[in-house]
Structure 1
Amino acid sequence: MIDEIDQALISALMEDSRRSLKALAQISGLSSPSVAERLRRLEERGVLKAYTVEVDPRFFGYQLQAIVRIRPLPGKLQEVERQILAIPEFTECDKVTGEDCFIARLHVRDMEQLDSLLDHLNSCAETNTAIVKKSPVKRRLPPMA
């Protein structure tokens, strides 16, 4: 189970995954070796899966972000999944229930690139695309308590 100290450590790392053991110790009220041990146990249990960095795709020329609902044509589910995996501009993808089988996030430089990438899927799927204007809620954890 996750206790209040673990929750505090996880929250602190979600805010800044580069926090030092010393800083985490100050936040949690534990010693640095105790924090290191807790983090090791959280990693072993699979609670902490990675320490990451967040990069803004716009600095690499990706000015548009799109959400694409993808409905494979009959018998084309695996082919669609292979194509999504092969296109690196798809930065996230969920296989979902309902009429659409996939909901994906795509970063592109411009509308022409968006059209070109979606054209790859036209032979095996129908797509419905929405351009992201703003993301008021960034990826976050649900409440831990």
Structure 2
Amino acid sequence: MNKSSAPEVVTLDKIDKAILEIVQRDNKTPQRKIAELVNLSAPAVQRRIKRLEETGVIEANVAVLDPKKIGQSITLFVEVEMESERTDLYESAKRTFASAPEVQQCYYVTGEADFILIVTVKTMSEYEALTRRLFFENNNVKHFNTFVAMDRIKSGLSISV
């Protein structure tokens, strides 16, 4: 699917939604356990999960890491304002931000900022080097503003369905 086109909305019934609630909490929950919780057979749950994956409702099965446990103890939120609105320059910035391993999430947004980045690094020196690479060396970055997270209150990837 082309990400710039309007996404196709997938119709979910209450059983699909119940399955999604379970796998968002723990995607390693055995399908037989999910089947018990939603009152279906394990093969029926397997078929539904496969359909949810094939339609893109489930984008990926990932492990959510605690950044502090792996030495990425600094989380930063960065607003990036671009100079020009040329499509080619925006697409180039999107590719650059997406390819930086320190950038955990990147959003193209409305408002004063054009992008919001969520970044994790080990040290502020590492962040300084990243700013040189992503912002100072990019002639289309007009301004960036950094917020340092003092504490992580809630994080997660679950969406209410």
CA change 1:66–1:52 in 2 (3 A) is same
Amino acid at match of 1:60: I
Distance in 1 separating the partners of 2:108 and 2:21: 28
Question: When the two structures are aligned, how many residues end up with a matched partner?
Answer: 144
Q: Provide TM-score, normalisation by structure 2.
A: 0.79
Q: Which residue number in structure 2 is paired with residue 133 of structure 1?
A: 150
* Displacement of 1:108: 0.8
> Any idea what SS the aligned residue of 1:136 has?
coil
Amino acid at match of 2:112: E
Q: Which residue number in structure 2 is paired with residue 73 of structure 1?
A: 83
Q: Which residue number in structure 1 is paired with residue 123 of structure 2?
A: 110
Q: Which runs of 5+ in 1 are unaligned?
A: none
Q: Which runs of 5+ in 2 are unaligned?
A: 1-10
Native 8 Å contact 2:77 2:148 kept in 1 = yes
CA change 1:4–1:137 in 2 (3 A) is same
CA RMSD after TM alignment: 1.9
1:16-95 → structure 2 map (5 Å cutoff)? 16-74=26-84, 77-95=90-108
Native 8 Å contact 1:67 1:103 kept in 2 = yes
- Residue among 14, 35, 38 paired with 1:4: 14
